[in-house]
Structure 1
Amino acid sequence: MRLTVPQPELAEAAKWAARQLPNNPINPILNGLLLEADGDQLTLSAFDGETCTRSHLDADITETGSAVLSARLLADITGSLNKADVTITATDTDATVETGSARFDLATLPRHDYPTLPQIPAHTGTVDGTEFAAAVARVKMAVDPAADGPFAGMSGVRLRIDGDRLELTATDRYRIARHTLPWQPAGAAGEAIAVMPGHVVIDNAKTLAGQTVNLTIPADGRGTAGFATGDRSVTTMLLDPDLFPHRLDRLQKDFQGTAFFDAEDLAVVIRQVATVNDGDKPIWIAFDGRHATVRARDTGSAKARVDAELDGDLADFEAAFNSRWLLEGLAAVTGRVAMELNTPHAPALLHDPDDDTYSYVVIPIRDPHKAKPGKG
């Protein structure tokens, strides 16, 4: 195999691929990056046993073929080079990476040991990459990467298709973040639900911005899903959809009252009073007339007021919340935000009253005086 490709494109593709791989895979061959040269394209593929990524680069290929190189080593080498054409030559046992001023001699990994890669399934529909990346940014804080066993579904992001809408939902039991965006089905509009590993969605969402994304979601939510743009694709095994807590969709939707704030004003006050807290200790929110009072007490005590427009019966209402969870929900809203409340122990709902695409449910702390720091 022999080919020449521009350094910026090669370095970016190698870096993206290496980032997908585990640090210590059970099978060492999965440390490798598969390079395949054919026609006028170089394809770089990485596979961790469940998730496969592919990048397609235009290249000047003088000898077709394939080789497996250490993904991280290739990423480090190509990232260190100046902008220039990079020539890669490989045999069954060794490879060279060179520019006009530098040369690297490498051992290849056994090509015959590299596993067969999953095929890219036919796409179900398309979304705008920038809108998809924004949706992921709004829900990712509620993914619990450590969830396993019967709670493994909470380590993922649920994707639900309903006609011409795609809804992304994530939850860690303490909050539920949802965002809905337009969806263009490839065929007849229908319904589907799948739970994609959270790290796969989060790690790759930004790379999709500015492009049309072909998304594959199987109707039964099981097996393989994927997303692809013109030059990149990701194929991954789905999480068991039965392990995602779908019952959270049935949380109470009627509220006792609503408080309207400027999102940034409320966030500033929460950050101010939380400075006296050691870790994720609670803050309290109470309402009086046209204001809300936010207070905290831990290493010291603090209290601050913020303007609020109240609708409904919130007299004598006070509830305790994890300050970080509130701030992360508020970060997704600009301008006016509505906080819908029922009882001090019932979930509160944050949303933009003028935009129904995003909602964030947060659970109050039931016994704030015994509260322990939340997950970091």
Structure 2
Amino acid sequence: MRSIGEMARDSGLSVSALRFYDNAGVLVPAWVDPVSGYRWYEPGQLEEARLLACLRRAGMPLADIRLVLAGWSNADPDLVRGLLQAHLRRLERGLAEARSEFSTLRTLIDHRENPMTSLSTATVQLSVPASELAAALDSVRFAASTDPELPMLGGILFDIEGEHLHLVATDRYRMAVAQAPTLGYGGPRTQVVVPLPLADAMRALLTGDESVQVSVDGDRVRLETADRQAGGQSLGSDFPDYRRLVHLPAGRRARVDTSAFAEALRTGPVRASETREQDDEPRDLSVLRVTENGTVIVCDDGDDDQDNVAVNREFLLHALAAGARDELILELSAPTAPLAIRRIDDELTFSILMPVRLEN
């Protein structure tokens, strides 16, 4: 018998993936210890697990994976070949359609001028209270992307407009927005994307209550305190127009005790997701619902209410910590609409999480 750890090591599936496929009835262990709940697999199941890993990497839907494994165990190669061929045709058709759409998008991008999201080449200087800028950076840093294939998201947007500096970070699955007051700038809206290493270096200088100077000169950005400075080159890519993303449909609002809610998430039930986010591992999901009395509950496995909203648990815990308040407001709309985490005293500082579709 193989332990779940040995099966994960030899099959290419993670332990969390093996748990997910057990719960889904796709790859059920030969024996589960009734006391510890530990899973054990027969040697013959290793071949099935390796096949499952291949099918998963190929993006085959769970329903088809079940059929392939059934055909495999029943020694029905014709069924298996037919399912593989059908999936390959779907992938090829999808790729052809995607190429066509991307060709259209490139044409639109090449011909579209959008000064609202273009990086500024002007020279800008302004003052920002150090404590306010530090708090804003802390509120958005968690949502920045670390995906090397999306370098334009590997930084924090400094959006300067009038008397306000908006900071924005996103990795496509979540977005955080914060605001700090400014002095000394009355020019047009200016944007610069500060790469994460430089943003972290700036944050390290923000230790007092005095004002600091932020300057932008072409593709260079610099922060100066009384005796130190951090500066460097901004990212040479445009940042998404975040203002188009923050107009969410009206949802049900619930006030939560941040510490208690975070503990409920950490200790409450989770579900595994087939959705791939930034790596090839399933993610633990927390399924939420606002009750009639206005409280947010973490739903158990048997709760399939149509209004439930599933989100990445780790991302939600990060957002709660970044909210930096004893109480926060959660705003939930439809299961397909983003979840918003807002401050009670400052709704201009908030984050949103994309929901995750639950497998049937």
TM class, shorter-length: 0.5 to 0.7
Q: Aligned ranges for residues 288-367 of structure 1 at < 5 Å?
A: 288-290=291-293, 291-295=295-299, 317-333=307-323, 334-366=325-357
* Offset, 1:343: 1.0
Query: Please, which runs of 5 or more residues in structure 1 have no aligned partner?
Result: 1-120, 304-314, 371-376
> What CA distance in whole angstroms lies between the structure 1 residues aligned with 2:287 and 2:329?
17
* Offset, 1:180: 0.2
Aligned to 1:188: 186
Q: Aligned ranges for residues 156-195 of structure 1 at < 5 Å?
A: 156-185=155-184, 187-195=185-193
Query: 1:277-328: CA deviations, max 9, x gaps?
Result: 797311111233223320365xxx9x9xxxxxxxxxxx95201110011111
Q: Which has the higher strand share?
A: 1
Given that 2:270 and 2:284 are in contact with CA atoms closer than 8 Å, whether structure 1 keeps it comes out as no
Q: Flag the 1:190–1:209 CA change in 2: closer, same or farther, 3 A.
A: farther
Amino acid in the other structure paired with 2:267: Q
* Offset, 1:158: 0.2
Amino acid in the other structure paired with 1:267: A
Q: Aligned ranges for residues 206-245 of structure 1 at < 5 Å?
A: 206-210=204-208, 211-218=210-217, 222-242=218-238, 244-245=239-240
> What CA distance in whole angstroms lies between the structure 2 residues aligned with 1:256 and 1:349?
9
* Offset, 1:123: 5.9
**Which runs of 4 or more aligned residues in structure 1 lie more than 6 Å from their structure 2 counterparts after TM superposition?**
275-279
Amino acid in the other structure paired with 2:296: A
Matched residue of 1:176: which SS?
strand
> What CA distance in whole angstroms lies between the structure 2 residues aligned with 1:183 and 1:161?
9
Aligned to 1:124: 125
Given that 1:132 and 1:209 are in contact with CA atoms closer than 8 Å, whether structure 2 keeps it comes out as no
* Offset, 1:271: 1.1
- Picking from 283, 287, 293, the partner of 1:284 is 287
Q: Taking structure 2 as the reference length, what is the TM-score of the superposition?
A: 0.57
Aligned to 2:250: 255
Given that 1:321 and 1:364 are in contact with CA atoms closer than 8 Å, whether structure 2 keeps it comes out as yes
Given that 2:270 and 2:286 are in contact with CA atoms closer than 8 Å, whether structure 1 keeps it comes out as no
Asked whether 1:266 is paired with 2:270, we answer: no
Given that 1:212 and 1:229 are in contact with CA atoms closer than 8 Å, whether structure 2 keeps it comes out as yes
> What CA distance in whole angstroms lies between the structure 1 residues aligned with 2:129 and 2:251?
37
Q: Flag the 1:231–1:332 CA change in 2: closer, same or farther, 3 A.
A: same
> What CA distance in whole angstroms lies between the structure 1 residues aligned with 2:242 and 2:343?
24
* Offset, 1:274: 5.6
Matched residue of 1:239: which SS?
coil
Identity %: 23
Aligned to 1:108: none
Amino acid in the other structure paired with 1:286: R
Q: Aligned ranges for residues 29-68 of structure 1 at < 5 Å?
A: none
Amino acid in the other structure paired with 1:365: V
Calculate the aligned-residue CA RMSD, in Å.
2.7
Amino acid in the other structure paired with 2:157: R
Q: Flag the 1:193–1:122 CA change in 2: closer, same or farther, 3 A.
A: closer
Matched residue of 2:348: which SS?
strand
Query: Please, which runs of 5 or more residues in structure 2 have no aligned partner?
Result: 1-121, 273-280
